[in-house]
Structure 1
């Protein structure tokens, strides 16, 4: 059983929403958009109020730097603030929260900046939250003034460069086709993608220090989803994340690359539903019937 997700807009953010039940907000990575979680969210909408925002400048959302006058630039703090504004506009006080890739640090930044936001469970998919990830060449050149910016823009800010990333990072191409990937590559989305990549890579220590510091203090039920064929973040990174978080469990997906929600939407929905039902049981005492996807 699944529901239909429909397009909405509040303020600068566009989002897909559908279903009935506890709010479940899922944030995409880079490159990405609300479509990253659309298939998974459509399945989960049978039991949850699924909300899939396009982060600022991605998909159909307006650019944060051009349309919003926030206290931060276009990076994770600004995205977290914009998502929080959306939650306030929708009058959502309690929710489940998830993030894939860059959506992971945005989700944790939301928790850090707005500790009063009531989050009962967290899902993290193929994401870096540490200050010392492995960075392949030529992206290691990002910290070199001038040259680094140009190199990162070539590989992460152009359609050919991003399509190369797709071919490298996607293992299950039958499920996640290049035409599906291309829907993320709007002009604004490409611009935000390379800006975000450059900001991340230019100074990883400074950029991720607060996120990494938060991890061992995050006493929140957490599901970590990972592909066993992810060429960017190895399974060892997933295990390190699980060992750092106080209440985390790992679901390792076989024959899956980096784009976990798009390569394995049904399997991801099953794991998330199982996890969220257990969290609901622990927090409310209600034991819901198990659904199948």
Structure 2
């Protein structure tokens, strides 16, 4: 397994009752708390170039390996449906006694965070949604077949082996439409090795994929108007999966939302434009008060 970058902070493991997650803590303990939520088949490494700027600005960061296929600790007893993963986030906030938290989410993590916002919002102070699933786009069309294919025996083992090939990594079904720039090889290994080498991790991934359905984001969308805390929508203008119109719909649905556009990036803004995303997070947390 490729080690996580030291920039993420000090590694910890936390028992959430139904399973254990690994997280990385950094920054001043009295600073405003930021918890990062990544998407499918990536892990805390997604935030490796965002965390240092956030910490330098005085934020207290928690980058977590959520059980979405690139985690290293299997969670065979956890509910890994989207609402179940949202509850894991809420459980982590509760176990660590974190309040007035800024949740920063990208890609699939944004869909899960919308469920969290409408399911267990008590410890959330504000939210940053960076180019993510919403409404009927969970998953977007390019990845929509995955929940059905997850029912095919051996499919995920074949897929994770195939994505080892660099030419395959550039395809839309892999990283080609989510990252505009090449992801460093060591980071790709960090993302793909757990599900490729560990059958238990693939089982977790399979359970999550089988539970993905737009009914979860559509149900959350009906309740989003009741969420009155500040939300920043940081959206990639060139996103091939989640058009800016999706962000505009979210802004209309929310009571207290603002939208900033980020050029020269696809969905993985933390990979393509980490410094710009970090600057928006810092400004947002400072502006709305933490």
Question: Which TM-score band applies after superposition, normalised by the shorter structure?
Answer: 0.7 to 0.9
> Which residue is 1:276 aligned to?
285
Tell me, in whole angstroms, the C-alpha distance in 2 between the residues paired with 1:96 and 1:9. 21
SS at match of 2:132: coil
Per-residue deviation, 1:207: 2.9
Show the counterpart of 2:117.
111
Match for residue 286 of structure 1? Answer: none
The answer to whether structure 1 residue 211 and structure 2 residue 220 are counterparts is yes
- Residue number among 98, 102, 107 corresponding to 1:101 in the alignment: 107
Distance 2:158 2:241 in 1: 14
User: Which residue of structure 1 lines up, in the alignment, with residue 25 of structure 2?
Assistant: 17
Equivalent residue, structure 2, for 1:288: none
Residue correspondences, number: 266
Q: Give the drift of 1:45.
A: 1.4
Matches within 5 A, 1:1-293: 5-11=9-15, 12-20=20-28, 21-46=31-56, 47-56=58-67, 58-64=69-75, 66-68=76-78, 73-115=79-121, 117-131=122-136, 135-136=140-141, 139-140=144-145, 149-150=151-152, 153=155, 157-161=159-163, 163=169, 164=171, 165-173=174-182, 176-185=183-192, 186-187=194-195, 192-193=204-205, 195-200=207-212, 203-204=213-214, 206-280=215-289
Q: Is contact 2:99–2:125 with CA below 8 Å preserved after alignment?
A: no
| Structure 1 residue ranges without an equivalent (≥5) | 284-293
Pair 152,198 (structure 1): closer, same or farther in 2 beyond 3 Å = farther
Give how far 1:124 is off. 0.3
Give the secondary-structure state (helix, strand or coil) at the position aligned to 1:150: coil
Contact 1:25 / 1:97 at 8 angstroms: preserved in 2? yes
Q: Structure 1's 252 and 138: CA in aligned 2 closer, same or farther, altered over 3 A?
A: closer
Q: CA RMSD in A?
A: 3.0
Change in Cα spacing, 1:226 to 1:190, as seen in structure 2 (3 Å) is farther
Normalising to structure 2: TM-score of the pair? 0.80
CA distance in 2 between counterparts of 1:15 and 1:134 reads: 26
What runs of 5+ residues in structure 2 fail to find an aligned partner? 1-6
* 1:193 shift after superposition: 4.4
> 1:276, 1:156 → 2: CA distance?
42
Q: TM-score, normalised by structure 1?
A: 0.79
SS in structure 2 opposite 1:238?
Answer: helix
Pair 1:228–1:105, CA change in 2 (3 A): same
Distance (whole Å) between structure 2 residues aligned to residue 79 and residue 126 of structure 1? 19
